[in-house]
Amino acid sequence: MCQDVRHALRALRRAPGFTAVAVVTVALGIGVNATVFSVVSSVLFKPLPVERPAELVNVYGHEIMSPGHDAISYPNYLDYRERSETLTGLVAHTNFFASLSIEGRSELVVGEVVSDNFFQVLGVRPVLGRSFTPEEFAGPGAGPVAIVSHRFWQSRFGGAPDVVGRSFRLNGVVYTVIGVAPGRFGGMFPALTAQLWVPLSMVDGVEPMGNQRHRGGGGESWLDSRGRHFLWVKGRMRPDVDVSQVRAELETIAAGLAVQYPQANERERVRVTRTTDVAISPDLDGTVAPAGLVMLAAVALVLLVACGNLANMLLARAGARRQELAVRQAVGASPRRLTRLLLTESVLVSLAGGAVSLLLTVWLTGFLGRYRPGLPFDIGIDVSPDWRVLLFTFAAALATGVVFGLVPALRASRPDLVPALKDVGGAIWTGRRPRVELRDALVVGQVAFSLTLLVIGALMARSLHAAGRVDLGYDAHHVAHLVLALGMNGYDAEGGAVLVEEGQRRLAALPGVRAVGLVSRLPLAVNNNGFRLFIDGHPMTVADRPIVLDGASVDENYFDVLGLRIVAGRAIEAGDRDHSRRVAVVTRTMASRYWPDEDAIGRTFRPGRESAPWEIIGIVEDYKVDTPGEAPKPYLHIPLSRRATLVNYLIRTSTPAAGLVPTLERELRQLDSDLVFLDTGTLADLVALRLLPIRLGAWLIGFFGLLAVLLSAVGLYGVIAFSVSRQVREIGVRKALGADTSDVVAMVVRRGMALVAVGGLIGAVLAGLGGRLLSSVLFVGTFDPWSFGAAFLVLTAVAAIAHWVPARRAARVDPMVALRGPCC
């Protein structure tokens, strides 16, 4: 083996052009694969950076008969923690938004509120300072301390060794740094890296985010209410138990709590699953995992195209070395030894390409790590390569060298000795030349895979264009939004109401502003406001469960700002908000679905079985509330409380709203210079954020498709050039007998375009299948003619260029030179 390696290295050194092109081809194919694998691995496969993650379980709450995996209330968490005997520890946590102020600079940050045993149970030890103590959880507001992330320490405090004891403001409250987390630890959610951790005793001073449910149970604060579910819970199993025992125990505890606290827990149940079986959450993994697999499949096609090129180059190189191989065989080298020698060369080329691909992967993942997808905060996700990516890269490189080098090595190891020793033209293996060679099949596959990627990329690009023309029901480019969390800015309900009202008045007086409204949830925002309703006179679902609908609390100007038409009844009025009236406006689809043959005006519903009824006073035209491509859906509007703590300003402008957003922000900061917004922009920005997955898919798959086409062009050029070199005598005879240049070019192009046509047909079928798989996210038809036509046009143009050089070379063959001997 050592001798083969030395021979292979010498042979590759004597052919620097071949070696460089082969290494770069393999590096491109493996590099993009390793990059996407690194991203997917960071989100789906990388275990939590904690001690012994296999011992952890996730504990979820849910309502009876609900398929979801929901959060748990703080009182319930305490009961599970106190009564469990199968767990050595149970931790609670949830992410939050907060306004951070350090040395006069304010920004929005994401952190986690955690239980007192969080770091101890997870086995995470601060690299500086200490963890939390029970005294910091003695009561609400008792622990204004924080453990900051390594990234936060470096970026906000410059990595100062004396950071412990320093302070900063979070939502107006002074916090003291007590520790710095390890660099590899970023919290419990792989796609949302926490920048700091604070005690659960401080939860009333921040804005918890994520899946929240509220079902009575007394208490107004986050920590007092048993029916206020907002915490994610993880437990560490004892060494002598398994997950089924933990599940049985916690289900028994949940049943006891349902009897003990019927108002909040009568319908509450619990689910337990291994932490290592969950990437983000069981409800999201079914959506995120397929998306990651689609991207891996897309880049796998690029790798296959690159591998086809490698195989073609190895075949061409073996043809050029047929005399050398024949001499080796003539002096005693067996076909097995020749195969091993050639296979060693291909493996070395692939491993070198894999090494170069690591540099490409590091650069690409660094670029992706700095990418901010239109969010007002730094998510800080770590997609840098780890040992899994290294192992993936090595395995991909080794497999590429072995699988795609084996067949060329086997075929080249059995040369036809007499013609090869005389160095005359002909095939490099015995037997009559087949009508379809392996090189042709490889190019057909390359063209097919390239066209598949090009079509899918074009479908997604066309979907983006089509989504921009969807009728949303309102003009997104002339409506701005400002999102303000009053509690995060240090306002109580009374002071917040004054600020909001004065801010609305000042914004409405600005030049270019036509109307200003307030809403609890913006159209097309990524969060949802869920309402559980019992509709009077309407049959309930299984197990007498309420109907769950999306909706928002709105003020009297909301419909006017969006330009929505009231088709029956009336809109929300100021008096409805002043007197807390139980009235609602529903969309046309909601009215027709639940009262199909009667007038919905005057009908009632209840948020709880024993609750006072709410009356429908108006019906509004349908409009897009979740995604641009959604079908008309039931949506509910109720009066916005004047004591709301989360307020979204909606501002309709006479000119494009994007240019007025800074002016709107400055106007509100005239009331309070320290105001921090959760988000600002236009509704068009929210449309773009909703379409971000399609945009990224279009860019990435389109890029992969173009890369695959370029690699295919290299392979196609190689096949045509090789074909020309084998047909030099034939071309010389044709020219000697009177064939002109156009005839020779046509002969060369005809063979290459036949391969392109066959590959195009196969690629069209594959692209159709891929389009059907992605049909749920497309805004155009699966067989959109513009997408297929554009992809065919690009492929044909690139193929034509790839044919031009060898065709021109063939047309310039001198008949006398060609007839005397083989072309050099």
In whole angstroms, what is the distance from residue 43 CA to residue 35 CA? 13
In whole angstroms, what is the distance from residue 421 CA to residue 416 CA? 8
Mean pLDDT of 267-273: 91
Cβ atoms of 707 and 35 closer than 8 Å: no
HSE on the CB side for 360, CA within 13 Å?
Answer: 21
In whole angstroms, what is the distance from residue 454 CA to residue 794 CA? 9
Of 418 and 526, more confident: 526
What is the DSSP code string of 585-642?
A: EEEHHHHHHHSTTS--TT-EEESSTTSPPEEEEEEE----SS-TTPPP--EEEEEPPT
262-271, 443-452, 489-498, range with the lowest pLDDT: 489-498
Q: In angstroms, how far apart are the furthest CA atoms of the chain?
A: 104
Of 336 and 685, more confident: 685
Residue 577: the pLDDT is 92
Cβ atoms of 104 and 254 closer than 8 Å: no
Does the pLDDT of residue 524 top 70, yes or no? yes
Question: If 0-12 CB within 10 Å is exposed, 13-18 middle and 19+ buried, where does residue 159 land?
Answer: exposed
Residue among 649, 708, 370, 705 at smallest CA distance from 508: 649
Residue 481: the pLDDT is 95
Mean pLDDT of 178-206: 88
Residue 168, classed as helix, strand or coil, is strand
Cβ atoms of 80 and 232 closer than 8 Å: no
In whole angstroms, what is the distance from residue 71 CA to residue 213 CA? 8
- Residue 288 sits at the vertex; the CA angle it makes with 283 and 293, to the nearest 5 degrees, is 135
Q: In the structure, what pLDDT confidence band is assigned to residue 753 with cuts at 50, 70 and 90?
A: confident
Which residues 6+ apart lie within 8 Å of 793 measured at CB?
Answer: none
Residue the block writes with tokens 């083969």: 4
Residue 327: the pLDDT is 72
285-307 pLDDT, tens digit each: 776 777 777 788 888 888 888 88
Six-digit token string for 515: 């109307």
In whole angstroms, what is the distance from residue 686 CA to residue 477 CA? 10
- Residue 562 sits at the vertex; the CA angle it makes with 377 and 619, to the nearest 5 degrees, is 120
Cα distance between the two ends of the chain? 33
| Per-chain mean pLDDT for the chain | 84
Q: In the structure, what pLDDT confidence band is assigned to residue 644 with cuts at 50, 70 and 90?
A: confident
Residue 218: the pLDDT is 56
Does the pLDDT of residue 155 top 60, yes or no? yes
Pairing verdict, β 105-114 and 196-199: parallel
The pTM (predicted TM-score) of the whole model is 0.73
Q: In the structure, what pLDDT confidence band is assigned to residue 733 with cuts at 50, 70 and 90?
A: confident
Q: In the chain, what are the helix, strand and coil shares in percent, each to the nearest 5? A: 50, 15, 30
Six-digit token string for 496: 């917040």
Residue 373: the pLDDT is 62
Of 433 and 661, more confident: 661
Cβ atoms of 532 and 551 closer than 8 Å: no
Mean pLDDT of 426-445: 60
Of 140 and 619, more confident: 619
Residue 736, classed as helix, strand or coil, is helix
358-377 pLDDT, tens digit each: 999 988 888 877 766 655 55
Residue 179: the pLDDT is 96
Q: Where are the beta strands (DSSP E) in 539-594?
A: 547-554, 566-569, 583-587
In whole angstroms, what is the distance from residue 197 CA to residue 660 CA? 36
- Residue 502 sits at the vertex; the CA angle it makes with 499 and 506, to the nearest 5 degrees, is 130
How many other C-beta atoms are found inside a 10 Å radius of the C-beta of residue 14?
9
59-68, 380-389, 651-660, range with the lowest pLDDT: 380-389
Residue 706: the pLDDT is 85
Dihedral sign from CA coordinates of 75, 77, 78, 82: positive
Residue 431: the pLDDT is 38
Cβ atoms of 511 and 502 closer than 8 Å: no
In whole angstroms, what is the distance from residue 458 CA to residue 452 CA? 10
- DSSP H helices, 468-519, are 493-508
Of 138 and 624, more confident: 624
In whole angstroms, what is the distance from residue 148 CA to residue 133 CA? 16
Which residues 6+ apart lie within 8 Å of 169 measured at CB?
Answer: 99, 100, 101, 102, 175
Helix crossing, 282-320 with 335-369: angle to 10°?
Answer: 140
Of 661 and 16, more confident: 661
How many other C-beta atoms are found inside a 10 Å radius of the C-beta of residue 391?
10
Q: In whole angstroms, how far apart are CA 442 and each of 169, 572, 715, 755?
A: 62, 66, 8, 10
793-818 pLDDT, tens digit each: 988 888 888 877 777 776 676 666 65
Question: If 0-12 CB within 10 Å is exposed, 13-18 middle and 19+ buried, where does residue 488 land?
Answer: buried
In whole angstroms, what is the distance from residue 769 CA to residue 462 CA? 17
Dihedral sign from CA coordinates of 459, 460, 461, 467: positive
Of 456 and 734, more confident: 456
Six-digit token string for 518: 């307030």
Q: Give the percent of the chain with pLDDT over 90.
A: 35
Does the pLDDT of residue 425 top 50, yes or no? no
688-709 pLDDT, tens digit each: 888 887 888 888 888 888 888 8
Provide the 8-state DSSP code for 538.
Answer: S
Q: In the structure, what pLDDT confidence band is assigned to residue 821 with cuts at 50, 70 and 90?
A: low
HSE on the CB side for 548, CA within 13 Å?
Answer: 9
Q: In the structure, what pLDDT confidence band is assigned to residue 220 with cuts at 50, 70 and 90?
A: low
Q: In the structure, what pLDDT confidence band is assigned to residue 820 with cuts at 50, 70 and 90?
A: low
Residue 557: the pLDDT is 96
Q: In whole angstroms, how far apart are CA 378 and each of 153, 194, 205, 488?
A: 14, 10, 21, 18
Q: In the structure, what pLDDT confidence band is assigned to residue 53 with cuts at 50, 70 and 90?
A: very high
Does the pLDDT of residue 420 top 60, yes or no? no
Residue 332: the pLDDT is 67
Q: In the structure, what pLDDT confidence band is assigned to residue 664 with cuts at 50, 70 and 90?
A: very high
Residue 191: the pLDDT is 67
Does the pLDDT of residue 635 top 90, yes or no? yes
Of 273 and 227, more confident: 273
Of 53 and 285, more confident: 53
Does the pLDDT of residue 559 top 90, yes or no? yes
Question: If 0-12 CB within 10 Å is exposed, 13-18 middle and 19+ buried, where does residue 106 land?
Answer: middle
